[in-house]
Amino acid sequence: MSLFRKIFFTVLALNLFYFNAVAQRTEVLLDEGWKFSKGSFPAAIEPGFNDTRWETVTVPHDWAISGPFDKEIDKQVTAIMQNNETKATEKTGRTGALPYIGEGWYRKNLNLPVIQSNQKVLLQLDGAMSEPRVYLNGKLVGQWNYGYNYFYIDITNALRAKDNVLAIQLQNKPKSSRWYPGAGLYRNVHIIIKDNKSIDQWGITITTPLIKKEFAKVNLKTRFTGKGLKLVTRILDSLGHQVAVDTAKSIFGSEADQNIAVQNPHLWSPENPYLYAAVSTLYEGNIPKDVVRTRFGIREIKYTAGTGFSLNGQVRKFKGVCLHHDLGPLGTAINTAALKRQLTILKEMGCDAIRSAHNMPSPEQLELCDEMGFMFLAESFDEWAKAKVENGYHLYFDTDAEKDVVNLVQANKNHPCIVMWSSGNEVPDQFGAEGVKRAKWLQEIFHREDPTRPVTVGMDQVKATMQSGFGALLDIPGLNYRVHLYEEANKAFPQGFILGSETASTVSSRGIYKFPVEKGADKQYPDFQSSSYDMEYCSWSNLPDDDFVLQDDKPWVIGEFVWTGFDYLGEPTPYDTSWPSRSSYFGISDLAGLPKDRYYLYRSRWNKTKPTLHLLPHWNWEGRTGQTTPVFVYTSYDSAELFLNGKSLGIRKKDKSSPQNRYRLMWMDVKYEPGTLKVVAFDSQGKPVAEEQIITAGKPAKIVLSADRKEIMADGKDLSFVTVSVVDKDGNPCPTATDQLNFEVSGSGKFRAVCNGDATSLESFVKPTMKLFSGKLVVVVQADKKAGEIKLKVSGKGLKSAQVEMLAK
């Protein structure tokens, strides 16, 4: 996302036809110059409060991510219903063991231009964790309860001519979340200055109700404030060229309705995420009063019994993942570069859909999904009126749920990536008549606010929802796991299709392998790691292969959203009673964003443009010589031959004898000996077309660095993620290395964070030192605002150091 789109002074020069007038709406991002302190400071609302000893921070900001990790933080003695637990046990890492609980204050001096009598000023928060109370010059001007939602406040009447002071109080209660929620102003804060006669905030609704090869009908409904105004809308293509223009002819009160034809439209899809822009200009006479630019896509979605889901007339299935909102070592503070890296990794895997779990997504995530081509399931709540955690959303459901849904839809309705809404996840309200009423009530609010998209709920109590009618009333019945109930549910529900709204919950630790290799639920080991043979899962779930069978064999199964795309902070199942486990094991990639073996299993099915050939485990097994060490191959090819030190161990071909044999090639009886393990894949004619090999490595000798981006923006926010690994004297990767490394950044950048993906590590993310985990870690380097060269040097005892150079420009 460009700086121009995020912080912009929209000055649109019009044709001389309109006297060469200039219209202006100003949006300012309030990112710098904030003062922060954790604690209770009632006097902080006053402009004269002395905050000089407070920390100076940049927003977005997560006050808890710097730690330290502490098992006493939010320690809970509870039985987790969603995990089928009946006995309460002590949970120590459930919310990440980071200090997010408590009260925090942010203060900022507002240096605004002179506000004219004909102008209004809005303050918009994209999310604040949590329960934000907003004060301007000592006066409470607005508040919200749900930390994941967006809201705006008209602060015009509370502004002074100068010396305005904004103060925001946040409060995070213990036992308020089932994962790490973060803390602070973790999303962006905006000031919008515009004319009193202007387009309403979130006041433009764009739909594409008719699409043909020759043209598309684009409908725009625009709400505005003011009488006797004229609205002109121009449609621009992706290059900024005008392709259509229309002056609104139908204005009903303060809403204009326009239908504009776009000739030979480019349709939005994950494969071709083409975006148009609508530039809406509001005039009083010939004087422009306001200009709003709205990106949109032309696309058609349908959900049909028997056929399933189609996009632009083509039936397809969701190849999706669920994502929590934290960004690993960066915490919950939104960063576009980090979000884009996540999506780039998922795109390479072949993923085409995202579910925001279990909360409302950030504007930046949705903008990137529009641009990069990901369909999106936008979720709202993890709780309704019945509690999962003591201080969860159920406290606000009756009073806030409707306004929260309204803001979710109104803020995001023009994103073409969004193809469905979710009103809840595994809510305890699935039981009984009251739950049915709540599901119907919420769905009708979504329909009222957006008649173009369907609504789902992630249901885990499938038997109950079949009996009560809960599942039958939903637009899309979403099943969380319960693969054994898919057939029965499809017969019971009238919709004619089933969505895997949450699937798999396979657990693994990157580069860690356990013996013997056996399929099993809730397996635990003394080191608190899970095996990367991808044969272990949770009691309520299953292996990925079971979902693959349903996706491939049942036309009425419309896709899946895997739990999860990346590891996240908190919820360390199956070790949620085992300190120091403090982050999840569910991810297809680890907390540092490094792919686990399972990444290639999904890639072998999902990526249709590039072949996949991946060999596991690693081949450094001191002390295992002669012992059975199974070898798996994840590949898009149907057959392959395995060699150990040049000797063939046989050819394996995929077959339907079991779900695992259908999607994996497995040599279960390999006896370990050091050396070279090689796999050769064959095409459909039996010709060798690809190979991969792993060599037993010697002792770690030198450090190797690989930056995901060598050029980044000198904006004080952009990031480069540098993968750090070690190799032996011959250059072979050392997959078991755990060396302690140190990091030094110089030039036009700084060290931002580090992560090794180990769910049990208590090393700080924000200190420039960390141990390797399974031979790797990731260092995050942040650009300064001054352009120039950046150098990252990585060193470790007994290792040849390495340096990588980047450019901030």
CATH number for the region 31-195 comes to 2.60.120.260
| Mean pLDDT confidence for 348-376 | 98
Query: What band does 90 get if pLDDT is binned at 50, 70 and 90?
Result: confident
CATH of 702-808, one of 3.40.50.10950, 2.30.30.190, 2.40.70.10, 2.60.40.10: 2.60.40.10
Q: Is 438 helix (H, G, I), strand (E, B) or coil?
A: helix
Which residue in the list 367, 379, 383, 426 is annotated as catalytic? 426
CATH of 3-27+197-296, one of 2.70.150.10, 3.40.50.970, 2.40.33.20, 2.60.40.10: 2.60.40.10
What the block records as the tokens of 699 is: 């002792």
Tens of pLDDT, residue by residue over 128-182, are: 999 999 999 999 999 999 999 999 999 999 999 999 999 999 999 999 999 999 9
User: How far apart are the C-alpha atoms of 88 and 565, rounded to whole Å?
Assistant: 29
Report the interhelical angle of 363-372 vs 336-349 (nearest 10°): 40
What the block records as the tokens of 58 is: 């940049």
Task: Tell me the average pLDDT of the chain.
Answer: 95
Report the interhelical angle of 432-449 vs 397-412 (nearest 10°): 30
User: How far apart are the C-alpha atoms of 431 and 439, rounded to whole Å?
Assistant: 11
Q: Within 393-520, where are the H helices? A: 397-412, 432-449, 462-468, 470-473, 486-492
Do strands 557-563 and 318-323 pair parallel, antiparallel, or not at all (unpaired)? parallel
Q: Within 15-60, where are the H helices? A: none
Q: Is 15 helix (H, G, I), strand (E, B) or coil?
A: coil
35 with 107: CB under 8 angstroms? yes
Q: Which candidate, 659, 636, 532, places its Cα nearest to that of 587?
A: 532
User: How far apart are the C-alpha atoms of 475 and 469, rounded to whole Å?
Assistant: 12
Give the C-alpha distances (Å, rounded to integers) separating 727 from 511, 590, 597, 791. Answer: 15, 21, 20, 21
Res 253: pLDDT: 86
Task: Measure the N-to-C terminal CA separation of the chain; round to a whole number of Å.
Answer: 15
295 with 558: CB under 8 angstroms? no
User: How far apart are the C-alpha atoms of 260 and 606, rounded to whole Å?
Assistant: 37
What the block records as the tokens of 192 is: 């919008």
pLDDT at 6 over 60: no
pLDDT at 20 over 60: no
Does the N-terminal peptide bond of residue 720 adopt cis geometry, omega within 30 degrees of 0? Answer: no
Which residues fall within 8 angstroms of residue 696, CB to CB, at 6 or more apart?
Answer: 619, 620, 674, 675, 676, 732
User: How far apart are the C-alpha atoms of 503 and 426, rounded to whole Å?
Assistant: 13
744 is catalytic: no
Q: Within 453-610, where are the H helices? A: 462-468, 470-473, 486-492, 544-553, 597-606
Res 132: pLDDT: 98
| Mean pLDDT confidence for 283-307 | 96
Q: What is the DSSP code (8-state) at residue 671?
A: B
620 with 696: CB under 8 angstroms? yes
Query: What band does 375 get if pLDDT is binned at 50, 70 and 90?
Result: very high
Q: Which candidate, 250, 196, 247, 249, places its Cα nearest to that of 224?
A: 196
Tens of pLDDT, residue by residue over 423-462, are: 999 999 999 999 999 999 999 999 999 999 999 999 999 9
**Are domains 3-27+197-296 and 613-695 of this chain identical in fold?**
yes
| Residue 346 host element (H or E) | helix 336-349
Res 78: pLDDT: 80
User: How far apart are the C-alpha atoms of 715 and 564, rounded to whole Å?
Assistant: 31
Q: What are phi and psi of 338, to 5 degrees?
A: -70, -40
> Which residues make beta-bridge pairs with 796?
741
Which residue in the list 131, 364, 502, 571 is annotated as catalytic? 502
SS (H, E, C) 168-196: EEEEECCCCCCCCCCCECCCCEEEEEEEC
Give the C-alpha distances (Å, rounded to integers) separating 107 from 53, 386, 531. Answer: 12, 35, 47
Query: What band does 306 get if pLDDT is binned at 50, 70 and 90?
Result: confident
CA angle 366, 368, 372 (to 5 degrees): 125
pLDDT at 264 over 70: yes
CATH number for the region 613-695 comes to 2.60.40.10
CATH number for the region 318-505+540-568 comes to 3.20.20.80
Tens of pLDDT, residue by residue over 55-78, are: 999 999 999 999 999 999 988 888
619 with 679: CB under 8 angstroms? no
pLDDT at 1 over 90: no
User: How far apart are the C-alpha atoms of 346 and 561, rounded to whole Å?
Assistant: 12
Counting beta carbons within 10 angstroms of the beta carbon of residue 27, is it exposed (0 to 12), middle (13 to 18) or buried (19 or more)?
middle
How far does CA 429 lie from the centroid of its chain?
26
What the block records as the tokens of 523 is: 């397996």
| Mean pLDDT confidence for 363-376 | 98
Res 756: pLDDT: 98
Which residues fall within 8 angstroms of residue 86, CB to CB, at 6 or more apart?
Answer: 79
198 with 169: CB under 8 angstroms? no
688-695 sheet: strands from edge to edge: 647-653, 639-644, 676-682, 688-695
Q: Would you say the C-alpha torsion 422, 427, 433, 434 has a positive or negative sign? A: negative
444 is catalytic: no
| Mean pLDDT confidence for 607-613 | 97
Do strands 676-682 and 688-695 pair parallel, antiparallel, or not at all (unpaired)? antiparallel
pLDDT at 23 over 90: no
Res 85: pLDDT: 74
| Mean pLDDT confidence for 341-346 | 98
From start to end of 183-229, where are the E strands? Answer: 189-195, 198-211, 215-225
Which residues fall within 8 angstroms of residue 2, CB to CB, at 6 or more apart?
Answer: none
Tens of pLDDT, residue by residue over 219-233, are: 999 999 999 999 999
Secondary structure (DSSP) of 236-277: E-TTS-EEEEEE--EEETTEEEEEEEEESPPBP-SSS---EE
Res 14: pLDDT: 30
Q: Which candidate, 304, 298, 280, 318, places its Cα nearest to that of 551?
A: 318
Report the interhelical angle of 397-412 vs 363-372 (nearest 10°): 40
Res 357: pLDDT: 95
pTM of the entire structure? 0.95
Tens of pLDDT, residue by residue over 745-781, are: 999 999 999 999 999 999 999 999 999 999 999 999 9
pLDDT at 22 over 60: no
Query: What band does 4 get if pLDDT is binned at 50, 70 and 90?
Result: very low
570 with 320: CB under 8 angstroms? no
User: Which residue is associated with the tokens 């309200």?
Assistant: 429
| Residue 348 host element (H or E) | helix 336-349
Tens of pLDDT, residue by residue over 638-666, are: 999 999 999 999 999 999 999 999 999 99
Q: Which candidate, 670, 605, 13, places its Cα nearest to that of 288?
A: 13
| Mean pLDDT confidence for 541-548 | 98
Give the C-alpha distances (Å, rounded to integers) separating 741 from 276, 707, 775, 797, 802. Answer: 47, 17, 11, 8, 11
Domain boundaries, the chain: 3-27+197-296, 31-195, 318-505+540-568, 613-695, 702-808
How far does CA 603 lie from the centroid of its chain?
19
CA angle 336, 337, 342 (to 5 degrees): 95
Radius of gyration of the chain from its Cα atoms, rounded to whole angstroms:
27
Q: What are phi and psi of 23, to 5 degrees?
A: -105, 150
Which residues fall within 8 angstroms of residue 793, CB to CB, at 6 or more apart?
Answer: 743, 744, 745, 746, 801, 802, 803
